[in-house]
Structure 1
Amino acid sequence: MKFIKSLAVASAMCALSLAGTSIASANSYERIIESGKIRISTDLAIPPSGMLDAELKPIGSDVETAKLLAEDWGLELEFIETTGATRIPNLQTDKADIVISTLSVTPQRAEVIDFSKPYAGLQSVIGAPAAAQIAGWDDIRGKTVTVTRGTTQDTELTAMAAERGFNIARYDDDATMVTAAVTGQAEMVATSATIVQQIGERNKDLAYEPKFTIRVFDLAIGVRKGEPELLEKLNEWVSANLKNGKLNDIYQKYHGTPLPAEILQ
Structure 2
Amino acid sequence: MKKILFVVLLCLVSMPAFAKDKSVYDRVINSGTLRCGYAFWPGLMEQDPNTKTLSGLFYDYMEEMAKILEIKVEWTEELAYGDLPEALRTSRVDAFCAGAWTNPIRGKYADPLVPIVYQSVTAFKRAGDNRFDNDLASMNKPEVKISVIDGESTSVIARRYFPNATIQSLPQGTDGTQMLLNVITKKADIGLADAIMLKTVQDNNPGKLREVKLKYPLQVYGTTIWIKKGEPELKATLDNATQQLISDGTIDRLLTKHETAPGMYLRPQVPYQGYSHAAE
In which range does the TM-score fall when normalised by the shorter chain?
Answer: 0.7 to 0.9
Is the 2:111–2:229 Cα contact (8 Å) retained in structure 1? yes
Change in 2 beyond 3 A, CA 1:181/1:246: same
Q: Cα–Cα, structure 1 residues 143 and 19, in superposed 2: closer, same or farther, change >3 Å?
A: farther
Superposition pairs of residues 216-231 of structure 1, within 5 angstroms: 216-231=220-235
Q: State the structure with more CA Rg.
A: 2
Q: C-alpha deviations, 1:112-149, integer Å up to 9, x for none?
A: 22222222211111122222233242232321111122
**Partner SS for 2:175:** helix
Residue 235 of structure 1 aligns with which residue? 239
Given candidates 87, 104, 108, the residue that maps to 1:107 is: 104
* 1:53 corresponds to which of 45, 48, 55: 48
Give the total of aligned pairs. Answer: 245
Aligned partners of 2:19 and 2:110: how far apart in 1?
19
* Bigger proportion of residues as helix: 1
- Percent same amino acid at aligned positions? 17
Are the aligned partners of 1:128 and 1:210 in contact in 2 as well (CA < 8 Å)?
Answer: yes
CA distance in 1, matches of 2:169, 2:120: 20
1:166 Cα shift?
Answer: 1.0
What secondary structure is seen at the aligned counterpart in 2 of 1:69? helix
User: By how many angstroms is 1:150 displaced?
Assistant: 2.0
Q: Kindly report which structure 2 residues correspond to 1:106-125, keeping only aligned pairs within 5 A, or say none.
A: 106-125=103-122
Q: For 1:220, what is the secondary structure of its paired residue?
A: strand
- CA shift in 2, pair 1:258/1:131, >3 Å: closer
Q: How far apart, in 1, do the equivalents of 2:198 and 2:188 lie?
A: 12
Q: Is the 8 Å Cα contact of residues 69 and 241 (structure 2) preserved in structure 1? A: no
Query: Where do 5+ consecutive residues of structure 2 fail to align?
Result: 1-13, 272-280
Residue 177 to residue 144, structure 1, CA distance change in 2 (3 Å): farther
The correspondence for 2:191, drawn from 184, 189, 192, is 189
- From 266, 270, 276, the equivalent of 1:260 is 266
Amino acid at match of 1:76: K
- SS of 1:251's equivalent in the other structure is helix
How far the C-alpha of 1:47 sits from its partner, in A, is: 0.5
- Cα deviation code 1:68-117 (max 9, x no counterpart): 22233333322221122112221112111011233222333333222222
8 Å contact kept, 1:60–1:254: yes
* 3-state SS, counterpart of residue 218 of structure 1: strand
In the superposition, the TM-score normalised over structure 2's length comes to 0.77
RMSD of aligned residue pairs (Cα, Å): 2.6
Give how far 1:211 is off.
4.6
Q: Which residue pairs with 1:35 in the alignment?
A: 31
| Kept in 1: contact 2:115–2:268 (CA 8 A) | no
Report the CA distance shift for 1:56/1:211 in structure 2 as closer, same or farther (over 3 A).
Answer: farther
Q: TM-score, normalised by structure 1?
A: 0.80
The letter of the residue matching 1:223 is: I
